[in-house]
């Protein structure tokens, strides 16, 4: 299936917000995500993706249909290292999972930003840990060595690697 990973425009913020609702619903299985009084999950950092140059929002399209998103930012959530790229949020609609589409999307994003990367996964989200470990190993051609860490009373897994590849693709 042809995929496109397109930088999201500010005009597409409502689309991303709608996708974030689905993401938060799925994520609430593993993490305490509060629903607002309006019945929606709030992602306060979303507007920053169009006002801060260190943030990059992407929408995933499969055969011309919206299928997911990735939010990338500069700066480690774990060490505070400002040179690290962080996969802040990543989501693929259920209908497109387990078909290699998420891996293709992740690889496309990583090729756009060279340097050190971090992906954080809640320790109890076993399927996400498996996905990220495989996607990163396939991308780097090397084994991944997950490192557990604690944050706000929760156990997370940190996956670190370096992307040396950059593509000039705009899709």
Domain count, the chain: 1
Identify whether 171 is part of a domain.
no
Specify if 168 maps to a domain: no
Token digits of residue 8: 């999201």
- CA 36 to chain centroid, in Å, comes to 23
Residue-wise pLDDT for 94-150, tens only, equals 888 888 899 999 999 999 999 999 999 988 888 889 999 999 999 999 999 999 998
Q: Is residue 169 part of a domain?
A: no
Q: Tell me whether residue 170 is in a domain.
A: no
The model carries a pTM of: 0.88
* Residue 76 domain flag: yes
User: The domain containing residue 38 runs over which residues?
Assistant: 3-163
Asked whether the beta carbons of 107 and 54 are under 8 A apart, the reply is no
Residue 42: inside a domain, yes or no? yes
Q: What gap in Å lies between CA 47 and CA 92, rounded to an integer?
A: 21
User: To 10 degrees, the CA torsion angle through 73, 116, 156, 21?
Assistant: 30
Per-residue pLDDT for 160 more than 90? yes
Strands 115-122 and 85-92: parallel
User: Which tens digits make up the pLDDT trace of 6-53?
Assistant: 999 999 999 999 998 887 776 655 656 677 677 667 778 899 999 999
Q: Is residue 150 part of a domain?
A: yes
Residue 80 sits in a domain whose CATH number is 3.40.630.30
């Amino acid at each position: 299936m042809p995929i496109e990973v397109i930088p999201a425009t500010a005009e597409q913020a409502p689309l991303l917000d709608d996708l974030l609702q689905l993401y938060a619903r799925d994520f609430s299985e593993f993490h305490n995500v509060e629903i607002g009084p309006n019945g929606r999950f709030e992602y306060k950092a979303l507007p920053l993706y169009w006002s801060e140059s260190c943030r990059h929002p992407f929408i995933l399209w499969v055969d011309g249909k919206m299928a997911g998103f990735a939010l990338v930012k500069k700066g480690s959530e774990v060490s505070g290292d400002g040179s690290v790229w962080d996969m802040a949020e990543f989501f693929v609609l259920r209908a497109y999972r387990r078909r290699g589409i998420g891996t293709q999307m992740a690889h496309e994003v990583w090729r756009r930003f060279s340097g050190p990367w971090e992906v954080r996964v809640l320790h109890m989200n076993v399927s996400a840990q498996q996905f990220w470990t495989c996607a990163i190993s396939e991308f780097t051609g090397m084994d991944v060595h997950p490192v557990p860490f604690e944050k706000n009373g929760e156990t997370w897994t940190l996956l670190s690697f370096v992307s040396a590849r950059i593509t000039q693709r705009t899709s």
